Chains A and B, each alone.
Chain A
Amino acid sequence: MQKAFGIHWAVGVLGVPGLVLAALGCAVAAQAQGRAALLSEARSLEGAFTDVYARAEPAVVTVFPETEVRDPEARLHYGVGRIAQGIGSGFIIDERGYVITNEHVLRQGSRYSVQLSDGRKYDARLVGRDQLLDIALVQIVVPREERGQTFPTVPLGDSDALEPGMWALALGNPVGFYFDDAAPVMAVGVVSGVNRTFVKKERGPTEGPHVYGGLIQTDAAINSGNSGGPLLNIWGEVVGVTTCSFTPKDDNFRVSFAPEEANIGINFAVPINVVKRKVPLLKRGDGVRRPMRYGTINATIITLSKAEAEKLHLEGRRGVHIKKVTKGGAAAKAGLQADDVILKVNGRRTANRRQLVCLIAHLPIGEAASFELSRVVKDKPVTMTVNVTLGGKTVTDVEAMMQWLSAGGPEER
């Protein structure tokens, strides 16, 4: 009996605190497991970002527009034949060394160099360029000893599938002159908006305004030097070409003490679907060997003014008013008339002249685009959809066109 009592006593004395300790241990373990689960989630998100960087980085390059140093003394002095006048980024889309970058990056020089992320530097030749879209194609010139060399590429995605809120990752070489490293750097943010149209006031010291249409907007940090680099989705596919930022300089209501070129979280990229369509044209030399041709409907257009909107029974609506249709042109052939108001093209709203021109210019020439328009029939507005086969035209004076497009702003409501 003593023994039995002893056992019970032992169980009681050791068992209860033992149970308590065990429970505590479980609680601590559970908490540790909870935190471990949280950390593992955070880390695996990080893993998605590091994965995109690792896979895209070999294909992201730095592009240097250069000028040739002709004076032999200067060549001796500098030790090189060419001096970089600027810096931009780019990405390789074809293993034969075709690189996409911004056209405005290349303006600053007449010769070009491309540096890969592992430091190798090559000459590059200009293959094609599109001044309106601000996209250019260069090709790495492989020296004889490396004939047959292929280059890593990055896959291209679908920019039409982008929605605000999706991850946006920008790779490039911002402020690249300050760093000795050739590898690109990455910034993460979200897609803030799609189909954004705006006027970049002064693109350079000698340039006037440039009108950009249909851009992807993101809060991923883009700075000077990123131009031409890729904007990727979380799957590591390129969905845009990072091109410019909205800076205080562009703000008409700017307070005077703001620094001109600061990054304020409003950044833009040209959607890759538009670039994809242009690559075959760029590869065959459009913009370099012969002028680039742009889509047109051969009509005189103006942003719909409030007075005209009322006359055409379109109060509160925005669109593009056709003033005159050129005889025998694309619009005429499709049956468009004067006083038709274009509301949408291919399902995308065209609220003013800028949006319409920027959209049509980059659609394939000779192919049909669907135009939704409003026509006054028997004093009532009728909405109809018409397919227009786009004509083509060259633009001889891009600056003049930009001036024309940048006038008449969104306040024409």
Chain B
Amino acid sequence: MKVASRRRWAGRVLGVLLGLLGGSVCGWGAEVQEGPNAHALDLQQAFASVFREVEPAIVTVFLETGELSAMEIARYGLRRMPLGLGSGFIVDKRGYIVTNEHVVSGGKRLSVLLSDGTKYDAKLIGKDQLLDIALIRIVLPKAEKGRTFPVVRLGDSDTVRAGMWTITVGNPIGFQFDDPEPVVSVGIVSGIKRTFVDTLEDRREEMRTYGGLIQTDAVVNPGNSGGPLLNIQGEVIGVNTVLWSPTHYYVGLGFAVPINTIRRKLDPMARGAGVKEPMKYGMIEAQLEKLDEITADVLFLKGKRGVYVKQVFEGRAAAAAGMKTYDVILKVAGQRVVNVAQLVSLVVHLPLDEPVPFTVWRVIKVETLYPVCAKWSYPVTMTINVKLRGKTIKEIRDASRRLSH
């Protein structure tokens, strides 16, 4: 009896001690919650360090008129009148800057303002009108020959997913501020591979199709064009290019051209493509049309969206690769395409030197001796490698005008 009650008593004491220990541990844990948790601090450290690292390589790009007359210089205190501005970022230490083509078109001269306040003239080296990207270069005065510039790191835009952090750095509304330093805003990737036709008349005479853009809700305003869209690791994943808005200002819908598409074009632009010689764009030289209900039904694709080949031309790229009329293009280079604008905006920027794989759906008719079997047909999926033909914008426009007649 004594032994048993002692055991029970020991058990109770142990239980109470354990309870106290557990409670104190929990209580201690709760007290450690004081102050913002590590994640909030880590994140803001990440944002701040991305900005610090990238800021010296961000520039404001000014589009200007030609030199003013002596009287105008005396009156305004300026050598040239500014017509517009945008942002840009340095990709090569010799002073090569990537920005939007619409930022640098329409004036006579360019100048760039670095984040430390120094200003240089700049020269347009190459541009891609369809992509809306341009490459300019800082013109160094003789006294500063050999000066090198800080550069940004380029990332991989194929790894971008909706929900990831995005950071925009630029100089929005830059004319209104006395400070040359760029500013930063944080948001997330709202979506990827966004395609739309830009119908703002003031941007260009014709409509421009933007394809495969990264969408973000970070603050992007006029003046941010040409600036970088970065990921949380501080790598550039896109170039802020378009802002969709009923007010012309930020409402939460910003779009950036993915950096992987731009990267391919840097060398051609550096060699003068778009300026010294026309930029070439990939075309498959076939007449394409969006799948309508009836055609889709006949081709065993009832209810599906896609692009089908209306006509191929003898000797041209599509025919040479083996495409036939009524082929349905499902994917281009592994990417699903649902309408013509999306397909074209994807294909025009693909490399011209190696064949591009097209995933094609073709309905094969069975030819047999017996007439009744001639009605049989079945679909196959195949890959057709097309060597794209390089065409200039003028050739593309002429071709589309011919086709629309």
Contact = CB atoms under 8 A, between A and B. Distances in A.
B313 to A, nearest CB: 43
Interface string B224-253: 000000000000000000000011111100
26 contacts: A47-B37, A48-B40, A52-B36, A163-B51, A164-B51, A164-B55, A165-B44, A165-B46, A165-B47, A165-B52, A165-B167, A190-B47, A190-B184, A197-B177, A197-B179, A219-B219, A248-B249, A254-B248, A255-B202, A255-B248, A258-B248, A258-B249, A262-B247, A264-B249, A410-B178, A413-B119
A189 B187 CA distance: 9
Contact of A192 (B40, B118, B184): B184
Given A164-B51, A165-B50, A195-B179, 12 more contacts: A165-B48, A165-B51, A165-B184, A190-B184, A193-B182, A196-B183, A199-B176, A264-B250, A266-B173, A351-B178, A351-B179, A411-B78
Tell me what chain A mostly uses at the interface: helix, strand, loop, or mixed.
loop
B66 interface: no
B215 to A, nearest CB: 16
Interface string A152-165: 00000000000111
A349 interface: yes
A193 B221 CA distance: 15
Contacts of B183: 164, 192-193, 196, 217
Interface in A258-298: 258-259, 262, 264-266
Contacts of A349: 117
B372 to A, nearest CB: 52
- In the complex, which range does the number of interface residues on chain B fall in? 35 or more
Contacts of B78: 306, 411, 413
B40 A190 contact: no
Contacts of A167: 40, 43-44
B59 to A, nearest CB: 14
Contacts of A262: 247, 249
A352 B185 CA distance: 26
A165 to B, nearest CB: 3
- In the complex, which range does the number of interface residues on chain A fall in? 35 or more
Contacts of B43: 45, 167
A294 B112 CA distance: 37
Contacts of B186: 165, 189-190, 219
Interface in A163-201: 163-167, 189-193, 195-199
Interface of A: 41, 44-45, 47-49, 51-52, 163-167, 189-193, 195-199, 217, 219, 234-236, 246, 248, 250-255, 257-259, 262, 264-266, 305-307, 316-318, 349, 351-352, 354-355, 409-413
Nearest to A254: B248
A250 B50 CA distance: 30
Contact of B177 (A191, A196, A234, A305): A196
B49 A48 contact: no
A258 to B, nearest CB: 4
Contact of A246 (B167, B173, B185): B173
